[in-house]
Amino acid sequence: MISLEIKKVAVIGSGLMGHGIAEVFALSGFEVKIEDAFPEALEKAKVSIGKSIEKLVKSGKIDQNKGQETLSRITYFSQMEPAVKDADFIIEAVPEIMKLKKEVFSGIDKFARNDALVASNTSNFKISSLAEGMKHPENVVGMHFFNPPVVLKLVEIIKGERTGNSAFDQAYDLAKKIGKTPIRVLKDSAGFVVNRINAPESLFFCLVLDQNVAKPEEIDTFARGQGLPMGPYELMDYVGIDTVVHSLDYYAQELSPEYGKCRAFRTMFDSGNLGLKTGKGFYVWKDGHAEIPKVKPTEKLELMDVLAVELNEAVKLIEEKVALPQDIEIGVKLGMNRPFGPISVAEGLTNAEVRKKLETLSSRYGTKVFEPAESIKNGKLKEIISTKSFDQNDKKTARPDETPASSASSPGESLVIFEKLPGKVARLSINNTKNNLLSSEVISELEKHVLALWNDHDVNVIIVTGKGPVFSAGAQLSQFFPGSMDFMEHSRKGERVFRLLSEIPKITIAEMKGYTLGGGFELSLACDLRVGTEDVQIGFPEVTLGLVPGWGGTQRLPRLLGTSRASYLILTGMRFSGKEAFEMGIVNRLIPKDNVDEETLKFAVDLAQKSAPTAAALAKRLINKGSEVPMDVGLEMESIAMGLLYGTEDLKEGISAFLQKRKPEFPGR
Q: Is beta strand 74-77 parallel, antiparallel or unpaired with respect to 140-145?
A: unpaired
**Helix or strand or coil: residue 65?**
helix
Residue 410 placed within a domain: no
| Domain shared by 468 and 543, yes or no | yes
Which residue, of 301, 331, 354, is where some domain finishes?
A: 301
Q: Mean pLDDT of residues grouped by 10 in the chain (669 residues)?
A: 80 94 96 95 95 93 94 95 96 93 94 95 93 93 94 95 95 95 95 95 96 96 83 92 93 95 95 94 94 94 92 97 96 87 90 95 96 97 93 49 44 81 95 92 94 94 96 85 82 94 96 96 97 96 92 94 95 95 96 93 93 86 84 85 81 79 81
Residue type for 312, please? Answer: N
| Domain shared by 348 and 420, yes or no | no
**Helix or strand or coil: residue 63?**
coil
Element (H, E) at 564: helix 563-572
- Walk across the sheet containing 416-421 and list its strands: 416-421, 425-430, 461-466, 507-512, 529-532, 589-590
Backbone CA torsion sign across 462, 468, 474, 478: negative
What residues does 144 pair with on adjacent strands? 156
What residues does 32 pair with on adjacent strands? 9, 74
pLDDT of residue 42: 95
| Domain shared by 163 and 205, yes or no | no
Residue 397 placed within a domain: no
Q: Are 265 and 244 in contact (CB under 8 A)?
A: yes
Q: Which residues have CB under 8 Å from 463's CB, separation 6+?
A: 425, 426, 427, 428, 508, 509, 511, 600, 601, 604
Nearest to 18 by CA among 40, 48, 59: 48
520/540 Cα distance (integer angstroms): 9
| Domain shared by 38 and 113, yes or no | yes
| Whether the model pTM is above 0.85 | no
Q: How far apart are the first and last CA of the chain?
A: 66
The backbone torsions φ and ψ at residue 508, rounded to the nearest 5 degrees and listed phi first, read -115, 140
Q: Is beta strand 154-158 parallel, antiparallel or unpaired with respect to 140-145?
A: antiparallel
Q: Are 415 and 430 in contact (CB under 8 A)?
A: yes
Q: Is the preceding omega at residue 95 within 30 degrees of 0, hence cis? A: no
The backbone torsions φ and ψ at residue 338, rounded to the nearest 5 degrees and listed phi first, read -110, 150
Range of the domain at 236: 194-301
**Helix or strand or coil: residue 363?**
helix
Q: Are 127 and 91 in contact (CB under 8 A)?
A: no
Residue 446 placed within a domain: yes
Looking at 234, 329, 542, 599, which residue is catalytic? 542
| Domain shared by 380 and 329, yes or no | yes
20/22 Cα distance (integer angstroms): 5
Q: What is the CATH number of the domain that holds 351?
A: 1.10.1040.10
What residues does 141 pair with on adjacent strands? 119
224/45 Cα distance (integer angstroms): 33
Q: What is the CATH number of the domain that holds 101?
A: 3.40.50.720
Residue 316 placed within a domain: yes
Residue type for 205, please? Answer: F
Residue 539 placed within a domain: yes
Residue 35 placed within a domain: yes
630/81 Cα distance (integer angstroms): 88
Q: What is the CATH number of the domain that holds 562?
A: 3.90.226.10
Number of domains in the chain: 5
Q: Percent helix, strand and coil across the chain, each rounded to 5?
A: 50, 15, 35
227-283 tens-digit pLDDT:
777 899 999 999 899 989 999 999 999 999 999 999 999 999 999 999 999 999 999
Residue 404 placed within a domain: no
Q: Are 105 and 126 in contact (CB under 8 A)?
A: no
383/377 Cα distance (integer angstroms): 13
Residue 2 placed within a domain: no
pLDDT of residue 212: 95
25/149 Cα distance (integer angstroms): 10
Element (H, E) at 76: strand 74-77
Residue type for 377, please? Answer: K
What residues does 322 pair with on adjacent strands? none
578/77 Cα distance (integer angstroms): 57
Looking at 402, 522, 534, 636, which residue is catalytic? 522
90/437 Cα distance (integer angstroms): 39
Residue type for 268, please? Answer: M
Element (H, E) at 441: helix 440-453
Q: Are 165 and 396 in contact (CB under 8 A)?
A: yes
| Domain shared by 510 and 567, yes or no | yes
Q: What is the CATH number of the domain that holds 641?
A: 1.10.12.10
| Domain shared by 543 and 588, yes or no | yes
Q: Is 522 a catalytic residue?
A: yes
| Domain shared by 252 and 238, yes or no | yes
| Domain shared by 122 and 200, yes or no | no
16/45 Cα distance (integer angstroms): 8
Angle subtended by helix axes 194-210 and 216-225, to nearest 10: 130
Eight-state DSSP code of residue 338? -
pLDDT of residue 257: 96
**Helix or strand or coil: residue 520?**
helix
| Domain shared by 648 and 634, yes or no | yes
| Domain shared by 117 and 163, yes or no | yes
How far is the CA of 614 from the CAs of 191, 204, 527, in angstroms? 63, 64, 18
Which residue, of 588, 607, 626, is where some domain finishes?
A: 607
pLDDT of residue 397: 44
Percent of the chain predicted with pLDDT > 70: 96
| Domain shared by 149 and 75, yes or no | yes
pLDDT of residue 147: 87
Q: Is 542 a catalytic residue?
A: yes
What residues does 8 pair with on adjacent strands? 31
pLDDT of residue 413: 65
DSSP states of 447-499:
HHHHHHHTT-TT-SEEEEEESTT-SB--B-TT---SSHHHHHHHHHHHHHHHH
Q: Tell me the H-state helices in 112-193.
A: 127-131, 165-177
Which residue, of 185, 213, 237, is where some domain finishes?
A: 185
